[in-house]
Structure 1
Amino acid sequence: MGRCTGAVEAGVPGQANVLGQANAPGNAHEPSRPRKARRAHRLRRALLATLITGAVVVPLSGAARPEIPAPAPAALATPVTAATLDATYAANRANAAEASRMAAAHGDRERAAADREMADPSRHFLSFDGRGPGLATEVFGDLAHADHIAVLVPGSDTSIDTYDRFRDAARALYERLARQAPQGTRTAVLAWLGYETPATVSTTVTTTARADEAAPKLREFIRQLRATTAATTADEQSGSANQRPHLSLLCHSYGSVVCGRAASHLDVDDIALVGSPGTGADTAVALHTRARVWAARGGDDWVGEVPHVRLDLLGTTVGFGTDPISPAFGARVFAAGDGGHSDYFRPGSTSLANLTRIVLGETPEVSHG
């Protein structure tokens, strides 16, 4: 699940009333109900909203976009080091420029424009693949010398066509880090669009299928990132002991399902789950990670209405289990303010301030939710 757009955010006829019923004036009597009755009512309301969404909107998502031609990804050195970073960035910009030309020749002006923006000389991509929905990993900051690195994992409806909103989140975090980091501390943020995300309004977004496909890719990316920073440090220190950068994984919405599926094999220091529908695990311990596990949800995030259950339906598991901000899950819950599902990286927000502290390793300063 990613930034809620289209019919879900604006509301399908009938759906907005279902989702907004809890705060409607006509429901002023609800607090007087017994707690179990209120909980059952909320569950029924959320399930009804899901059914309405599926019945009204899912059929509209069936029309697949025609395949957009693009070149194969550029051949790159592995692992990337300080000596090869500039060549890597240049190769991916050239690939994006060629993808833009091919998309324009195909008549897709929207994709051509998106690819052309990615080919700008100011952009730095560790990877780029313009085929299909598109994949990319963009770097903000000096990766070769960073002491603290954050990797953002997006939720649904994130592709090259919608990439700007994901980029805005990464850039906002990097700018906050640059202002808040102690003098002499170097930071970098990586926007990892390394998997094909599900559509927000689809049956795929209710299962772990895409996350299961993405988890090995995320594990390999983190492994290569660790190898890159280790190789860079060794080059600079002539083989002396490596200073490992502090590495944080920030996972938004359906991206938290991806992080949950990959967690047991990730060499990271912190995993932060924001706007999460669940991870597929019942507890933070069940993620089998040595990383600190954090979780937050904004007060106006519609994910709070999603039932945190797992159901076996016709051989398919639907839902993602325990709510990550619940005491039963056992994560370190931090404050996210009153923001909505798309506000976790909004400049000036409580959530961005706390995510910045997590990335910088200033864990005692994180305000609790």
Structure 2
Amino acid sequence: MHRTRRFGKTLTTAVLAALLAGGTTAPAAAAGGEAPVGPPPGTAAWRADRSLGRSLPDPATATPAEVAAFFAGLTDAQSRRLVRDHPTVVGNLDGAPVRLRYAANAPAGDRVLVYDPRGRGLIARVAGDLEHAAHVAVIVPGSDIDLSTAGRTARWATDLQEAAGDDTAVIAWAGYTTPSGIGPDLATDTLAEAGAERLTRLTAGLDAAGLPDPALLCHSYGSVTCGLAAADTDAADLVVMGSPGMRADDVTALGTGARVWAAKSPDDWIDHVPNVEFLGLGHGADPASPGFGATVLPADDVPAHDAYFTPGTSTLTAFAAIVGGDR
């Protein structure tokens, strides 16, 4: 506990230092320049493929609805051939059938919806039966989550899915480049903006696949990403926890028709981070504050910043009820 409080104070100092810099410190690229950017690996070969007698949908420009329509017109044999010849594209192509994405990403594991090993890497794993789910949730994590550390988010997804029930599927979406360590990236929305675009495509892909409107559960810096994506997704619920802000003054400013919920533990060091936004630095109002307009969830029994999905806590119980349509 002392260690997390020290980390919180250090983060506060870093944010304040960035604020005091008056915007003169340029946002750092993700550590090591490791962010996978642009279309998925293998796109050049995919674009050059004329085996079907026509161009394949461009991963950079085709909408998930267009991708879904393309695959709907293929035979099983044609679909299997594309998975075999272009696994890194099919496995990351929003709008492609879930079963094909699983097959393309099979070497990376079971029920993998996204897999990009470049740099720090991206991955999304699914807990539950996504293809037949009555309810879908997407967990959007915060800082220091990538291919090597995504197991934490996957455990959260498993715990939530078990609490919500068999008719629910939960996607542990480490599908954007998160801030790494303590630095300017934490205080800016640069990575969140890029993440919001990816999150919007993910939810559009779920819609194109005929799946239910998802609940987005957004932790820490992930809530900044969700705040920026809110107006462009069809999410039914938007749940934030341990949030430094959502780049919005209140619920109305999010521009979403989703129900908005917020949780913040009294033992969460995020409470020491100033809720300000100045010259692009800081993330604005506290979503758990009375004036923001979100429905505040119980969190008094959550022991730490990363413990909102702990089995037996009031927050996990509330999350499961929201996701499962019981609240």
Deviant stretches of 4+, over 3 Å? 46-54, 61-73
Measured at CA, do residues 319 and 51 of structure 1 come closer, stay the same or move farther in structure 2, by a change above 3 Å? closer
Please state how far the C-alpha of 1:164 moved relative to its aligned partner.
1.2
Correspondence 1:309 to 2:323:
no
Structure 1 partner of 2:113: 126
Q: Work out the CA distance in 1 between the residues paired with 2:16 and 2:231.
A: 33
Provide the C-alpha distance between the structure 2 equivalents of 1:262 and 1:159, rounded to a whole number of angstroms. Answer: 20
Contact kept in structure 2, 1:246 and 1:361, CA below 8 Å: no
Tell me, yes or no, if the aligned pair for 2:146 and 2:178 is still in contact at 8 Å: yes
**Runs of 5+ unmatched residues, structure 2:** 20-27, 43-86
Residue 227 (structure 1) aligns with: 208
8 Å CA contact 2:203–2:214 kept in 1: the answer is no
Aligned to 1:112: none
Specify every segment of 5 or more residues in structure 1 that has no aligned partner in the other structure, as ranges.
20-45, 55-60, 97-118, 179-184, 231-244, 364-369
- 1:320 is aligned to 2:283: yes
Q: Find the counterpart in structure 1 of residue 96 from structure 2.
A: 80
Aligned to 2:136: 149
Which deviations, in whole Å up to 9, do the C-alpha atoms of 1:91-147 show, x marking residues without a partner?
Answer: 1123x3xxxxxxxxxxxxxxxxxxxxxx3xxx2111210111111111111111111
Contact 2:214 2:236 in 1 (8 A): yes
User: When the two structures are superposed, what TM-score results if normalisation uses the length of structure 1?
Assistant: 0.66
Query: Could you tell me which residue of structure 1 aligns to residue 83 of structure 2?
Result: none
1:168 CA displacement: 1.0
Deviations 1:322-342, CA, capped at 9 Å, x for gaps: 110111111011101232101
2:230 maps to which of 263, 266, 271: 263
SS at match of 1:9: helix
Query: Which residue of 11, 19, 26 maps to 2:6?
Result: 11
Q: Counterpart in 1 of 2:50? A: none
2:247 counterpart of 1:280: yes
For the residue of structure 1 that corresponds to 2:262, the secondary structure is: strand
SS at 1:137's partner residue? Answer: strand
Q: Structure 2 vs 1, CA of residues 298 and 200 (structure 1 numbering), >3 Å: closer, same or farther?
A: farther
**Does the Cα contact within 8 Å between 2:219 and 2:241 map onto a contact in 1?**
yes
Equivalent residue number for residue 110 of structure 1:
none
Offset of 1:8 from its aligned partner? Answer: 6.6
Instruction: Supply the AA of the counterpart residue of 2:250.
Output: T
**What residue is the counterpart of 1:346 in the other structure?**
310
In the other structure, the counterpart of 1:37 is: none
- The structure 2 residue matched to 1:201, chosen from 182, 187, 191, is 182
CA-CA distance at 1:165 after TM superposition: 1.1
- With over 3 angstroms needed to count, the CA separation of the structure-2 counterparts of 1:141 and 1:360, relative to structure 1, is same
Cross-structure match for 2:297: 334
1:361 aligns with 2:315: no
Alignment-derived partner of residue 136 in structure 1: 123
Letter in 2 for 1:135: L
Q: Secondary structure at the match of 1:86?
A: helix
Percent of matched pairs sharing the same residue: 41
**2:324 and 2:278 mapped to 1: Cα distance?**
38
**What does residue range 9-48 of structure 1 map to in structure 2 within 5 Å?**
9=4, 11=6, 48=13
CA contact (8 A) 2:276 2:284 kept: yes
Deviations 1:225-271 (A, max 9, x none): 111125xxxxxxxxxxxxxx252110000000000001001101100
Deviation at 1:87, TM superposition (A): 3.5
Query: 194-203 or 286-295, which moves further after superposition?
Result: 194-203
Is residue 201 of structure 2 the alignment partner of residue 217 of structure 1? no
Q: Alpha-carbon deviation of 1:187?
A: 1.0
What's the secondary structure of 1:346's corresponding residue? coil
Pairwise CA distance, 1:86: 3.4
The answer to whether the 8 A contact 2:126-2:172 is kept is yes
Q: CA deviation at 1:10?
A: 7.1
Q: Is the 8 A contact 2:94 2:201 kept in 1?
A: no
Instruction: Confirm or deny: 8 A CA contact 2:176 2:198 kept in the other structure.
Output: yes
More helix by share: 1
Amino acid at match of 1:75: V
> C-alpha separation between the residues in 1 aligned to 2:218 and 2:173?
10
343 and 67 in structure 1: CA distance in 2 versus 1, 3 angstrom threshold: closer
TM-score (ref. length: structure 2): 0.74
Matches of 1:338 and 1:188 in 2, distance apart?
25
Counterpart mapping for 1:80-99 below 5 A = 80-81=96-97, 85-94=98-107, 96=108
User: Residue 357 of structure 1 aligns to which amino acid in structure 2?
Assistant: A
